[in-house]
Structure 1
Amino acid sequence: MTAPIETTKSAASAQPEEVLAGASGKQIEGRSLGRIAWTRLKRDKVAMAGGVVVVLLILVAILSKPIQAIFGLDPNAFHQSLVDPTLLAPKGAFGGISWHHPFGVEPQTGRDIFARILDGSWVSLLVAGGATMLSVCIGVVMGVVAGFYGGWVDSTISRVMDTFLAFPLLLFAISISATLQGKAFGLSGLTLRIAVLVFVIGFFNWPYMGRIVRAQTLSLREREFVEASRSLGARGVFILFRELLPNLVAPILVYATLLIPTNILFEASLSYLGVGIEPPQSSWGGMLNQATDLYQVDPMFMVIPGVAIFVTVLAFNLLGDGLRDALDPRGK
């Protein structure tokens, strides 16, 4: 009776590593917060569809010039032979849609609409992206400083934000864009127009980002990890860049994604009013402006740039909503 008892005792006294050695050779691997957020985002099919459309739009905008060169597209080439001289409407059905002109041609001028949509894509995304980066940079710096230091610093920056928010932004943008014509600051032509739009849209929109970052900073500065950094002798600048900013990446990324479509609409509005991108450079808002007087002749001339703006804004909004749910599921 002793042999079985000894066998049982030796098995019971075995080390856990020896017992688990043959169970599995795989180690348990932890997941980072970014990986967890990516897993949540992949489950959101609508957000992923919006992200795919956003990536495609960015690629089209970046490669618009090479695509035009490869297929021999010219957004400013006139094709009078494709326009009815009596009605000034494109020949054929649905605005002259054909294999060579998949979106048809413009009334009166006969310019290829597909080439102009392609050429206007990089303008809209460049202006919206540049303005968003400017708003994010200014808003993050001002919001973090105001929320972290508090006191008179917070009061001063908050009053500056209120002052900027009191500006009638659209009227201010129209006046600045209409004033800076020709040549200014060493820039001219299309470069000047894009720089003016980026400055006007980005510089006067930063208080929205600043308020969000300030509110998040006010919450984070009372957390335990900030107190631990202070107790170890860390100074304000170190805490700002090493403790607070990494924890603000999620709200900054989400709001930046939602700010881009707003800036796209703002640029399209200015171009529609005639104070944005000037011809002959095509822009989606400018195409809508031209279609205002010609939609009865060719409704497709208004529908196509409108759909381009709608799809772009919708895709960014869907991606932004998905990022918000993935990075902060408790905020649903």
Structure 2
Amino acid sequence: MTAPIETTGAAAEAQSEVVLQGVAGKRIEGRSLGRIAWIRFKRDKAAVTGGIVVLLLILVAVLSQPIQTVFGLDPDAFHQDLIDPELLAPKGAFGGISWEHPLGVEPQTGRDILARIIEGSWVSLVVAVGATLLSVAIGVVMGVVAGFYGGWVDSLISRLMDTFLAFPLLLFAISISASLQNGAFGLEGLPLRIAVLIFVIGFFSWPYIGRIVRAQTLSLREREFVDAAKSLGARGPFILFRELLPNLVAPILVYATLLIPTNILFEAALSFLGVGIAPPQASWGGMLTTAVDLYQVDPMFMVIPGMAIFITVLAFNLLGDGLRDALDPRSK
């Protein structure tokens, strides 16, 4: 059995230089919190798939008009020659699916379903994103102010949140949308309906995110960096927008991502009830409304817009869950 060879003197110094050269040859880089979150997010295959679907939906919604122009799609064109005059159902199998109409045509009217799905995508996205931005903006400001200042300010804003949460939102949205159908605020037609939906959905749903932001702010205001900012002479507005808000980006982003599918479903429900987007403008909820009356004639007409809503909501939920796990792994 041989004893270990000890390196001393010049040999040890030479070995240290070799190790240092190897370390210097391989550059060590630090990872930011954003990069670490991105690495976690990429490992979640379901979240990545949901993100890809969301990006495709956004591209289809933004480029809906060019797509229809390039492929010769017209969501309002009637094709009565494709409808059986006796059954009022599309001719052929599976709702009249063909190369010219990949998803078939509507019963009675013969309008192309693919064109109306593409046309309805931007309506759902504009309403959902607009309502989400409005509710997030109001909820974040109210929640941060209530959580940071506390006292009577917190009590006042909290009671205001309780008041808004007590509103029957669906009935209130139906009454407002129905009363403003003819024109208001210098708007009429489709722009008015979209503006009313964004206002009703966004303005009356801000307490949900307001409560989340308030709870996070109550915890953050006790941290050392807030005390350090106060000791340096920073005032309330500076601490709110320069110290607290950057630390609230993660929960706000996650909740906003999960709120968008909820607003998509709400817009579809209002259109389904006849107080949302009015025909002939295509919307997924409006297509479901028409499909209810024609379900016996062509069941596929109900399946396609229903699947469009299902896939969109599922993709946003998967993306939101992935962002939550990536930004806050302790929440698993």
User: What TM-score does the superposition give when structure 2 sets the normalisation length?
Assistant: 0.96
Report the aligned-residue RMSD: 1.4
Aligned to 1:201: 201
In structure 2, the CA distance between the partners of 1:80 and 1:153, relative to structure 1 (3 Å rule), is: same
Residue 314 (1) aligns with residue 311 (2): no
Deviation at 1:144, TM superposition (A): 0.2
Q: Distance in 1 between matches of 2:300 and 2:289?
A: 14
Aligned to 1:151: 151
Aligned to 1:140: 140
Deviation at 1:230, TM superposition (A): 1.1
Q: Distance in 1 between matches of 2:82 and 2:274?
A: 27
Aligned to 1:4: none
Q: Distance in 2 between matches of 1:100 and 1:218?
A: 58
Residue 184 (1) aligns with residue 195 (2): no
In structure 2, the CA distance between the partners of 1:145 and 1:14, relative to structure 1 (3 Å rule), is: farther
Deviation at 1:108, TM superposition (A): 0.5
Aligned to 1:165: 165
The aligned amino acid for 1:198 is I
Deviations along 1:270-324, one digit per CA (max 9) or x if unpaired, are 0000000011100000000001110110001100000000000000001101111
Q: Distance in 2 between matches of 1:28 and 1:146?
A: 43
Q: Between 284-293 and 226-235, report the one with greater CA deviation.
A: 226-235
- The 3-state SS of whatever aligns with 1:184 is coil
In structure 2, the CA distance between the partners of 1:16 and 1:163, relative to structure 1 (3 Å rule), is: farther
Deviation at 1:16, TM superposition (A): 6.3
Deviation at 1:235, TM superposition (A): 1.1
Aligned length: 326
Deviation at 1:13, TM superposition (A): 5.3
Deviation at 1:264, TM superposition (A): 0.1
Q: Distance in 2 between matches of 1:157 and 1:24?
A: 57
Deviation at 1:227, TM superposition (A): 1.0
In structure 2, the CA distance between the partners of 1:302 and 1:30, relative to structure 1 (3 Å rule), is: same
Deviation at 1:10, TM superposition (A): 3.7
In structure 2, the CA distance between the partners of 1:26 and 1:293, relative to structure 1 (3 Å rule), is: same
Q: Distance in 1 between matches of 2:325 and 2:21?
A: 40
- The 3-state SS of whatever aligns with 2:285 is helix
In structure 2, the CA distance between the partners of 1:238 and 1:15, relative to structure 1 (3 Å rule), is: farther
Aligned to 1:219: 219
Identity percentage of aligned residues: 83
Q: Distance in 1 between matches of 2:238 and 2:17?
A: 42
The aligned amino acid for 1:60 is V
Deviations along 1:205-241, one digit per CA (max 9) or x if unpaired, are 0000100000000000001111111112111111111
User: What TM-score does the superposition give when structure 1 sets the normalisation length?
Assistant: 0.96
Deviation at 1:173, TM superposition (A): 0.2
In structure 2, the CA distance between the partners of 1:91 and 1:141, relative to structure 1 (3 Å rule), is: same
Q: Distance in 2 between matches of 1:171 and 1:18?
A: 76
Aligned to 2:81: 81
- The 3-state SS of whatever aligns with 1:313 is helix
Aligned to 2:34: 34
Deviations along 1:236-255, one digit per CA (max 9) or x if unpaired, are 11111111101000000000
Q: Between 226-235 and 44-53, report the one with greater CA deviation.
A: 226-235
The aligned amino acid for 1:306 is G
The aligned amino acid for 1:164 is F
The aligned amino acid for 2:319 is L
Deviation at 1:19, TM superposition (A): 4.8
Deviation at 1:9, TM superposition (A): 2.3
Q: Between 14-23 and 89-98, report the one with greater CA deviation.
A: 14-23
Q: Please, which runs of 5 or more residues in structure 1 have no aligned partner?
A: 1-6
Q: Distance in 2 between matches of 1:17 and 1:209?
A: 57
The aligned amino acid for 2:197 is L
Residue 57 (1) aligns with residue 57 (2): yes
The aligned amino acid for 1:216 is Q
Q: Distance in 2 between matches of 1:88 and 1:18?
A: 85
In structure 2, the CA distance between the partners of 1:145 and 1:23, relative to structure 1 (3 Å rule), is: closer
